[in-house]
Amino acid sequence: MIRWKGKAVCRGIVCGPAAVLKRDERVKRQKTADPAAEISRLESALEEAKGQLEKLYKRAAAEVGEDSAAIFEVHRMMLEDEDYLDAARNLIAGESINAEYAVSVTGDNFSEMFAGMEDEYMKARAADVRDVSVRLVRCLRGEEEPDFSSLPPSVVFADDLTPSETVRLDKSRILAFVTVHGSVNSHTAILARTMSIPAVVGVPVDFEKLKNGSPVVVDAFSGEVIADPDGETLAAAEKRMAEERENAELLQSLKGKENITKDGHRVELFANVGSVSDVGYALENDAGGIGLFRSEFLYLGRNDYPGEEEQYQAYRQVLQIMAGKKVVIRTLDIGADKQAAYFGLEKEENPAMGFRAIRLCLTRPKIFKTQLRALLRAARYGNLSVMYPMITSGEEIKRIYALVAEAEAELKSEGIPYKIPEQGIMIETPAAAVISDLLAGSVDFFSVGTNDLTQYMLAIDRQNEKLDEFYDPHHEAVLRTIRLVVENAHRAGKWVGICGELGADASLTETFLRIGVDELSVSPSMILRLRKKISEIRLDG
Ligand code: PEP
Ligand code: MG
C-alpha cells in the first residue's frame, strides 16, 4: 500500500483501477557516443509510430467514418516527411544527442514554423506536428499509450493535464483525476468540478511504483491517494462512498424548490458549463439557467477552428435544451492556460497578462465575427445573453459593438434570420471593477469572474501551484471590489452575478446575499448544496 497526499480540487471518493495517461513529457538532452545507433532507434520508433497510426486510422474509419479518421492518415504522412526526418537525423548526427531530444526539438521548430504561416489551414497543422512528435518520443521511450476505449472506468493519473487534453478524454470512463502538478484554480480543476469528477492535484506520484490497472482509492475530500490499498482501507473507503451516495440522495429532495432564504430573499442559481454535453449536468442538478458557457472549450482539443455553422448548431442546441431559461454564453476566452496550437499564438513572458480573450478577438476580428454571427443566429432559439471576457475599458466595449453591428449588417444583407441578444461583460480585471460605474451604462449586466479578479488584484498567477497558499479569494480587497461592482450595477439598474469559483463557496453565500448579488453561477454539482445553504440563512436577523 502506498499513500500520497495532494490538494483536493473536486470533492468525492472513489475506488478503481489506475490508468497512467501521461508521465513527465519533458525530454532531456543527452550526449551520445554512438549517433548511428540513435538514428537506428529513431528508424524503429518511426515504424512503430506509423503502425500505431495505421491501426488508429482503421479503427476510427470503422467507428466514426473515413472523414473523421483522416487525421490519423495525415499524421502518418507527416512521419514520412523528409524535411522533418532529415532535421531530426541531422540534429542527432551533428550534435551527438539522443533521438528523443532531437525529435522533440524538431517537433517544436516545425510546429512554430507552421504556427507562423499566414494560411489558416497551415497554421492549424502546428498542433499535428506536435502530436506526431509526442507519439514518436513515446515510441522511443517504449511507453504505451493507454487505450481508453478498451479500459474499464479508471482513475486517470498524469504528470499534468492541460485543458485541451482534458476535453479530449471520454468522461464516461474517468472515475477520478490525479495529477502531480496543477493548481486549484487552473481550468483543468474547473473542468473536473464542472463534470463532477473527483480530482486531486499536486500528488507526488511515483510512476515507477504505480502499475496500470492496480487498484487505487482517491479521497478527494482529504486529498489522499492510496495505491494497492489493504482490505481495511478499502472497506473504510467503501463505507464513505455509501455515505456520500446517501448525502447526494438527500440533496435530490431539494429539486424543484426555490432558492430562497428563511425570510424570503431569492437569488438565481445558475450553472457553469464548458460544452453542450455538460448542459445535461446543469439540468440534472436543477440549474435555473446557464450563467457561464465557456465557449472556448469548443475550440480546444481539436486541430482547426470551429466554423460558424458548427458553432451555431452548438449554441442553438444549448438554448433549445434549456428551453427558455437564461443562457449566458461567454465569447472566446482563449490564451494563458487555454491553448490551441492552431491559433499559432507566440510564447509569452506573462501569458495571464498577455494576448488572450477579448484582446485576441479584437485583434483577429475574422475569428471573433464568425462567433458573433453564430451567436446572433442562435439567439432566436431561446433566452441568450452574450458575455465578453477580460474587459478593461469602455473603448473595448465600443469596438465589440462595432463588430456586432458588422455581423448584424452582414446577416441582414444575406437574408439570414438573427436576433440581438442581451450583452454583458465579465468583471475580472481591477480596471473594469474600479470603473464599473462608467461601464454599467453601456452593458446589460455584469458577471464577476473571481478567479481572474483574485489573480489580478493580488498579483498572484492562478496557474502557479506554488502560490496556492497565497491565492486568497476571501481577501478583503476582493470582497470590497465585489460590493463596489454590485452597487454600481444596481445604481444603473443592471443585474449582476458571480461566475468565478468563489460563487460556490458556501461560507460566503450569506455575504453575497447581503451584498445583493442577483445570481450565482457555479459548477452543477454545487447547485443543490447552495440551495440548501440559502434555505438556512436569515438576512433580517
Ligand atoms: C473567472 O475568471 O472567474 C472566470 C469565471 O473565468 P475563467 O475561470 O474561465 O477565466
Ligand atoms: Mg476569467
**pLDDT grade, residue 124 (50/70/90)?**
low
Residue 286 has pLDDT above 70, yes or no: yes
Per-residue model confidence (pLDDT) at position 168: 72
Q: How far is CA 196 from CA 10, 11, 282, 284, in A?
A: 7, 8, 11, 12
Residues of CATH 3.50.30.10 domain(s) within the chain?
2-23+146-231
Q: How far apart are the CA of 142 and the centre of ligand 1, in A?
A: 39
Half-sphere exposure of 502 (CA within 13 A, CB side): 25
Is the beta carbon of 500 within 6 A of some atom in ligand 1? yes
Nearest CA to ligand 1 atom 3: 449
Per-residue model confidence (pLDDT) at position 68: 67
Distance separating alpha carbons of residues 234 and 241, to the nearest angstrom: 10
Most confident of 23-27, 146-150, 291-295: 291-295
Instruction: Locate 180 and state its grid cell.
Output: 502531480
Per-residue model confidence (pLDDT) at position 393: 98
**pLDDT grade, residue 30 (50/70/90)?**
very high
Residue 150 has pLDDT above 90, yes or no: no
Residue 292 CA, closest ligand 1 atom number:
5
Nearest CA to ligand 1 atom 8: 451
Q: How far apart are the CA of 314 and the centre of ligand 2, in A?
A: 22
- Span 421-434, average pLDDT: 98
Question: Nearest ligand to the C-alpha of residue 293?
Answer: 1
Is the beta carbon of 178 within 6 A of some atom in ligand 1? no
Is the beta carbon of 337 within 6 A of some atom in ligand 1? no
Distance separating alpha carbons of residues 334 and 297, to the nearest angstrom: 9
Is the beta carbon of 531 within 6 A of some atom in ligand 1? no
Is the beta carbon of 428 within 6 A of some atom in ligand 1? yes
Per-residue model confidence (pLDDT) at position 171: 83
Q: How far apart are the CA of 451 and the centre of ligand 1, in A?
A: 5
Nearest of 185, 109, 266, 88 to residue 500 by alpha carbon: 185
Nearest CA to ligand 1 atom 1: 449
- Span 400-422, average pLDDT: 98
Q: How far apart are the CA of 427 and the centre of ligand 1, in A?
A: 10
- Of the candidate CATH numbers 3.40.50.620, 3.90.105.10, 3.20.20.60, 3.40.470.10, the domain formed by 267-535 belongs to 3.20.20.60
Query: Phi and psi at residue 121, in whole multiples of 5°?
Result: -65, -45
Q: How far apart are the CA of 354 and the centre of ligand 1, in A?
A: 15
Which residue from 453, 499, 519 has its CB within 8 A of the most atoms of ligand 1, so it is best to mutate? 499
- Clarify whether 499 is annotated catalytic: yes
Instruction: Locate 449 and state its grid cell.
Output: 469572474
Q: How far apart are the CA of 328 and the centre of ligand 1, in A?
A: 13
Residue 408 has pLDDT above 70, yes or no: yes
Is the beta carbon of 449 within 6 A of some atom in ligand 1? yes
Q: How far apart are the CA of 450 and the centre of ligand 1, in A?
A: 7
Residue 325 has pLDDT above 90, yes or no: yes
Are 498 and 523 in contact by the 8 Å Cβ rule? The answer is no
Catalytic residue among 10, 15, 361, 499: 499
Residue 122 has pLDDT above 90, yes or no: no
Distance separating alpha carbons of residues 502 and 182, to the nearest angstrom: 18
pLDDT tens digit sequence for 157-171: 998 888 777 777 788
Instruction: Locate 384 and state its grid cell.
Output: 441568450
Are 223 and 200 in contact by the 8 Å Cβ rule? The answer is yes
Is the beta carbon of 455 within 6 A of some atom in ligand 1? no
Half-sphere exposure of 371 (CA within 13 A, CB side): 26
- Of the candidate CATH numbers 1.20.1250.20, 3.50.30.10, 3.40.50.10140, 3.30.70.2740, the domain formed by 2-23+146-231 belongs to 3.50.30.10
Question: Nearest ligand to the C-alpha of residue 296?
Answer: 1
- Span 412-427, average pLDDT: 98
Is the beta carbon of 463 within 6 A of some atom in ligand 1? no
- Span 421-447, average pLDDT: 98
What global pTM score does this model have? 0.79
Q: Sign of dihedral through CA atoms 65, 71, 76, 81?
A: positive
- Clarify whether 187 is annotated catalytic: yes
- Span 201-223, average pLDDT: 92
Q: For the chain, give the percent of residues with pLDDT over 70.
A: 97
Residue 336 CA, closest ligand 1 atom number:
10
Question: Nearest ligand to the C-alpha of residue 502?
Answer: 1
pLDDT tens digit sequence for 77-120: 999 999 999 999 999 999 999 999 999 999 989 988 887 887 76
Catalytic residue among 187, 265, 361, 490: 187
**pLDDT grade, residue 148 (50/70/90)?**
low
Distance separating alpha carbons of residues 177 and 154, to the nearest angstrom: 9
Residue 142 has pLDDT above 90, yes or no: no
- Span 311-336, average pLDDT: 96
Is the beta carbon of 450 within 6 A of some atom in ligand 1? yes
Is the beta carbon of 451 within 6 A of some atom in ligand 1? yes
- Span 381-405, average pLDDT: 98
Per-residue model confidence (pLDDT) at position 146: 64
Residues of CATH 1.10.274.10 domain(s) within the chain?
35-141
Burial class (CB in 10 A: 0-12, 13-18, 19+), 411: middle
- Of the candidate CATH numbers 1.25.40.10, 1.10.274.10, 3.90.1150.10, 3.30.1360.120, the domain formed by 35-141 belongs to 1.10.274.10
Are 203 and 216 in contact by the 8 Å Cβ rule? The answer is no
pLDDT tens digit sequence for 513-527: 999 999 999 999 999
Q: For the chain, give the percent of residues with pLDDT over 90.
A: 72
Q: How far apart are the CA of 390 and the centre of ligand 2, in A?
A: 7
Q: Which residues pair with 388 in a beta bridge?
A: 425
Is the beta carbon of 296 within 6 A of some atom in ligand 1? no
Per-chain mean pLDDT for the chain? 92
**Least confidently predicted of 35-49, 128-142, 407-421:** 128-142
Distance separating alpha carbons of residues 476 and 74, to the nearest angstrom: 53
- Span 326-335, average pLDDT: 97
- Helices and strands counted in the chain (H then E): 19, 16
Residue 294 CA, closest ligand 1 atom number:
9
Residue 22 has pLDDT above 90, yes or no: no
Residue 452 CA, closest ligand 1 atom number:
2
Per-residue model confidence (pLDDT) at position 65: 74
